[in-house]
Copies of this chain bind each other. A is one copy, B any other.
Amino acid sequence: MAVRAGVVVTGSEVLAGRVSDRNGPWVARQLLQMGVDVAHLTVCGDRPADLTAQIQFLADQDVDLIITTGGLGPTADDLTVETVAALYGRELHLDVELERRITAIVERWRSRLGSVADSEPLSAGVRKQAMVPAGAQSISPTGTAPGVAMADDSGTLPAVLILPGPPSELQAMWPDAIESACVAAVLERRESVVEATIRAYGLSEADLAATLRTAEKSITGFGELAITTCLSRGELEMVTRYEESAAAAYSEVLTLIDKHHGAQLFSTDGSTIDDIVATRAGGRRIATAESCTGGMIAARLTDRAGSSAYVVGGVVSYANEVKIGSLDVPAALIDELGAVSEPVAARMAEGALNRVGADVAVSTSGVAGPGGGTESKPVGTVCFGIAVAGRPTVTRTLRLPGDRASVRALSVTVAMHMLADALGGA
């Protein structure tokens, strides 16, 4: 039997959509990579009744492990430990040693920030964070909030692991947390599952769906494959989870997809376009010349640890003067054709190549909107250029759908694929 988990993310700021949830996805990835099936993820605000309801819901769904994130801070809206303890029928007691350690951490932070708050209510906050449910195991804090792991001795409720909300704290505490006795006991019951990912660019979800329908009819064991597809930022991703015994069926599906959509498939081993650009770059050096993407391509390239080996840098030429002054685009060319034109994109890429001293340069110039669109160049029109030393510069123009954020995000995807192509063709 698969081990099933449920994840509860707490925090009104997440529920209200003011802050995007970075913990749920991270915890889910860890669990799936360990072979745990994530059945439900729920988000609740700071009302104890809602949190109790969600945990009870997950227990009713027969999950083996519940992981909560958030609600361990010093403020009055942080109620996770006491709410879960109440549901599990545990008293809270003060862990004096923990209180001492948290006090030391808080004092260090306060002195750094030059805090002037009253110390009495501050101690009340620390005391609150040092309360541990009876019989539970405390997970050492990396910030100020300790975690809690506990099992229900009666066996009617799942094991629960309570972790703090700040992603860096949670992630730093994770190794200790999964080694806590009651979590480790659940994890021992796992079975092995394979997860395989393929990615395509320029393929519609409808076409992939059609091919999967064909596969369903013709391939034995297709039903053993848990396939999910997702279109994100112009790339179509298909993830399949299966037990080892269904490997032959997956291989046949892959062959069929490759037959129908081979030209659009760019990854069958889980690698991303970022991985491919990094690998293909080899010793070559990449530069950027960005207008409508305003630095997003450079930011994406440098997201990656070690990118200094192949990213030189670039120019964000948002204003035309910068296209002219820093990338040597002739002013007359902009006057004649407009900044959003393939010849300007070409000169931008060539300017970056020469000025920054790179082997490959990519450029963007487009109308991200909401303003600035014209009849001939509506919002979403983006021109791209790729300059490679010693080769003719390549340009293309696309009309990308959606709002400003969408046009910019899709432009980055296009640029990454053009870069990968340029690096691959050498």
Contact = CB atoms under 8 A, between A and B. Distances in A.
Interface string A156-171: 0000000000111001
A299 B299 contact: yes
A101 interface: no
Interface in A268-313: 285, 288, 290, 293-299, 301-303, 305-308, 311-313
Contacts of A40: 15, 42-44, 50, 53-54
A260 B50 CA distance: 33
17 contacts: A12-B226, A15-B28, A17-B32, A39-B45, A40-B50, A45-B228, A53-B60, A110-B204, A121-B210, A125-B210, A288-B316, A294-B303, A296-B299, A312-B321, A314-B315, A316-B316, A321-B356
A75 B212 CA distance: 8
Q: Return the 9 tightest CB-CB contacts between A and B, nearest first.
A: A294-B302, A17-B25, A295-B298, A295-B295, A121-B213, A12-B228, A17-B28, A13-B230, A295-B299
A41 B7 CA distance: 12
A289 to B, nearest CB: 10
A318 interface: yes
Interface stretch (A82-90, A386-394, A396-404): A396-404
A209 B125 contact: yes
A324 B237 CA distance: 41
Contacts of A251: none
A117 interface: yes
Contacts of A133: none
A211 interface: yes
A46 B119 CA distance: 51
B212 A76 contact: yes
Contact of A24 (B43, B326, B371): B43
A17 B24 contact: yes
A245 interface: no
Query: Which of the four size classes fits the interface of chain A?
Result: 35 or more
A306 B371 contact: yes
Interface of A: 11-21, 24-29, 32, 38-47, 50, 53-54, 57, 60-61, 73-77, 106, 109-110, 113, 115-119, 121-122, 124-126, 144, 166-168, 171, 202-214, 216, 226-232, 237, 239, 260, 285, 288, 290, 293-299, 301-303, 305-308, 311-319, 321-322, 325-326, 355-357, 369-372, 401-406, 408
Given A106-B206, A237-B13, A302 B288 contact: no
A59 B303 CA distance: 42
A85 B40 CA distance: 21
A230 B20 CA distance: 12
Given A15-B38, A24-B43, A45-B39, A121 B73 contact: no
Given A313-B319, A316-B295, A15 B41 contact: yes
Contacts of A318: 298, 302, 307-308, 311-313
A333 B294 CA distance: 29
Contacts of A297: 295
Contact of A209 (B75, B167, B228, B229): B75
Contacts of A356: 321-322, 325-326
A316 B319 contact: no
A11 B19 CA distance: 20
Contact of A206 (B14, B74, B232, B260): B74
Contact of A294 (B144, B167, B207, B299): B299
Contact of A207 (B21, B110, B313): B110
Given A77-B228, A168-B406, 7 more contacts: A16-B32, A16-B38, A18-B239, A41-B44, A116-B260, A117-B207, A118-B210
